[in-house]
């Protein structure tokens, strides 16, 4: 095909949604909460439908053979930036693309990708970035399935790893980076902050400074799982991270009714990850993408309300005689944890609404409390409109060896709570009666 032939076909291209909308009105830069209602979608393209239709199709009709070739050049990575047209639903689709545009907005990321789960996002990131013999340097603890993915699955293919504890200082991080560098190529630095289930924060700025000092020009990217505080309360791209990972199942989805993941970052990194996603098909489906578009419209409302509720509930729990300690980011300063409080001040815009409650007692007391809750539901997961409570030692972290549990502070008197958007006083009354039932 020649360029002249392609130029002749412009009149028959199907209209495309507005991808590079700037989000400005009369010079005013619009806020994410405003942009969630319309960014990346033009009703004119769908018979005036206010909301985007759900595009249930496996494939898309090319306007011409030349256009098909051009689109495949984008899909296969011959030309960076992804396909400029719609091709096949393993690669892209209107709902997923609108979602990706809107996900980018919150953190002013250059680009974003949607995935079928948080874990499929993380696995695709690793497959795209890491090869046999490479080392992943990571913070610890990580979400249990991420630890399994690195140590067990990638380990099978000769990938090595080294970790440092979440609160590590610059000197401690430097020591681990030096050790990793000495054993070969460091392909990726992977963080999770706050860490699950301890809420320990990672000093992203110190990690970036250490990486820059130790690796110079040939530096590995820094990726971070920002599921617990993002995108409202922590924006790691502003603190030196290159790639941000989400379980969109949690706060972004926010209604405990879907499973999905996201990755944001620079166009170059996203292009690399997109090629891997195109190959293995870890994109989310159109219905899930549509549900997430609905969820993002209320993301700020939900996270703000849940954050206010958590502050009230934690203030109540903190002074209750049956409570030993509340592991809530808003209390770091008051509890005298200078290192964590310093990281919090520099990185976080709010304390979020997922925290740890340490009761006086052990498993029996924790179970009595959990069984007595009436409004809060006994379930794992977090970030939904409803308040959830669970027992990490006996549930999500049951398989973690006793020694490691001890080192991480996952004790039998630890109850994990994710606060929802209910009435705060009703929640306080529920926690009060459940504590009194112990
Ligand atoms: C839930 C979660 C994940 C995994 O996400 P899924 O959507 O369940 O695959 C990863 N990281 C963190 C911090 C999580 O809370």
CB 82 within 8 A of CB 74: yes
Centroid of ligand 1 to alpha carbon of 227 (angstroms): 7
| Ligand 1: nearest atom to the Cα of 260 | 7
Q: Is residue 196 within 6 Å of ligand 1 at its C-beta?
A: yes
- Which residues, 6+ apart, have CB-to-CB distance to 186 below 8 Å? 134, 135, 136, 137, 177, 180, 215, 220
Centroid of ligand 1 to alpha carbon of 120 (angstroms): 10
pLDDT in the model for residue 22:
58
Centroid of ligand 1 to alpha carbon of 84 (angstroms): 31
Q: Which of 138, 196, 292, 384 maximizes ligand 1 atoms within 8 Å of its Cβ, making it the mutation to test the pocket?
A: 196
Judging by DSSP bridges, how do beta strands 111-115 and 377-378 pair with one another? unpaired
| Ligand 1: nearest atom to the Cα of 196 | 13
Output the residue whose Cα is nearest ligand 1's atom 2.
Answer: 247
CB 278 within 8 A of CB 90: yes
Centroid of ligand 1 to alpha carbon of 119 (angstroms): 6
Sign of the C-alpha dihedral computed for residues 309, 315, 316 and 321 taken in this order: positive
Centroid of ligand 1 to alpha carbon of 323 (angstroms): 28
What average pLDDT is seen over the chain?
93
The pLDDT-based confidence of 399 (bands split at 50, 70, 90) is confident
Output the residue whose Cα is nearest ligand 1's atom 7.
Answer: 118
Centroid of ligand 1 to alpha carbon of 418 (angstroms): 14
Helix (H) or strand (E) holding 244: strand 243-247
What is the distance between the alpha carbons of residues 114 and 97, in angstroms, rounded to a whole number? 8
The pLDDT-based confidence of 1 (bands split at 50, 70, 90) is very low
Domains of the chain from N-terminus onward: 110-296 (3.40.640.10), 299-436 (3.90.1150.10)
Helix (H) or strand (E) holding 126: helix 118-129
The pLDDT-based confidence of 407 (bands split at 50, 70, 90) is confident
Q: Is residue 92 within 6 Å of ligand 1 at its C-beta?
A: no
Residue 11 has pLDDT above 50, yes or no: no
Mean pLDDT of 228-232: 96
Q: Is residue 225 within 6 Å of ligand 1 at its C-beta?
A: yes
What is the distance between the alpha carbons of residues 202 and 164, in angstroms, rounded to a whole number? 10
The pLDDT-based confidence of 24 (bands split at 50, 70, 90) is confident
What is the distance between the alpha carbons of residues 124 and 118, in angstroms, rounded to a whole number? 10
């Amino acid at each position: 095909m020649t360029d002249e032939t392609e130029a002749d076909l412009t009149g028959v291209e199907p209209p495309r949604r507005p991808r590079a909308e700037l989000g400005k009105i009369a010079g005013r830069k619009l806020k994410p909460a405003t942009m969630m209602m319309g960014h990346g979608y033009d009703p004119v393209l769908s018979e005036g439908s206010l909301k985007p239709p759900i595009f249930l199709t496996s494939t898309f009709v090319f306007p011409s053979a030349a256009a098909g070739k051009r689109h495949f050049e984008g899909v296969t990575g011959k030309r960076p930036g992804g396909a400029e047209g719609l091709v096949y639903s393993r690669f892209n689709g209107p709902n997923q693309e609108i979602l990706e545009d809107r996900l980018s907005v919150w953190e002013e990321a250059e680009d974003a990708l949607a995935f079928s789960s948080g874990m499929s996002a993380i696995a695709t990131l690793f497959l795209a970035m890491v090869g046999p013999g490479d080392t992943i340097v990571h913070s610890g603890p990580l979400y249990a399935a991420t630890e399994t993915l690195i140590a067990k699955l990638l380990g099978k293919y000769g990938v090595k790893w080294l970790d440092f504890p979440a609160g590590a200082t610059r000197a401690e991080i430097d020591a681990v980076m030096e050790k990793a560098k000495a054993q070969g190529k460091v392909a990726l630095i992977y963080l999770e902050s706050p860490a699950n289930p301890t809420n320990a924060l990672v000093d992203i700025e110190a990690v970036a400074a250490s990486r820059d000092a130790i690796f110079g020009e040939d530096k590995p990217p820094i990726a971070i799982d920002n599921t617990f505080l993002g995108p409202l309360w922590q924006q790691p791209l502003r603190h030196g991270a290159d790639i941000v990972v989400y379980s969109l199942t949690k706060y972004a989805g926010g209604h405990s009714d879907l499973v999905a993941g996201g990755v944001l970052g620079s166009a170059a990194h996203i292009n690399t990850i997109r090629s891997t996603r195109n190959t293995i098909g870890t994109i989310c489906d159109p219905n899930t993408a549509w549900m997430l578009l609905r969820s993002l419209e209320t993301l700020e409302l939900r996270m703000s309300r849940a954050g206010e509720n958590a502050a009230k509930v934690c203030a109540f729990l903190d002074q209750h005689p049956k409570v030993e300690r509340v592991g809530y980011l808003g209390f770091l300063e008051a509890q005298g944890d200078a290192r964590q409080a310093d990281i919090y001040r520099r990185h976080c815009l709010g304390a979020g609404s997922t925290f740890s409650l340490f009761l006086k007692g052990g498993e029996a007391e924790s179970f009595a409390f959990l069984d007595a809750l009436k409004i809060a539901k006994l379930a794992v997961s977090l970030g939904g409109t409803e308040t959830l409570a669970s027992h990490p030692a006996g549930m999500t972290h049951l398989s973690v060896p006793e020694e490691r549990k001890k080192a991480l502070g996952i004790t039998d008197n630890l109850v994990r709570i994710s606060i929802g958007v209910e009435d705060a006083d009703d929640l306080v009354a529920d926690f009060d009666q459940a504590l009194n039932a112990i």
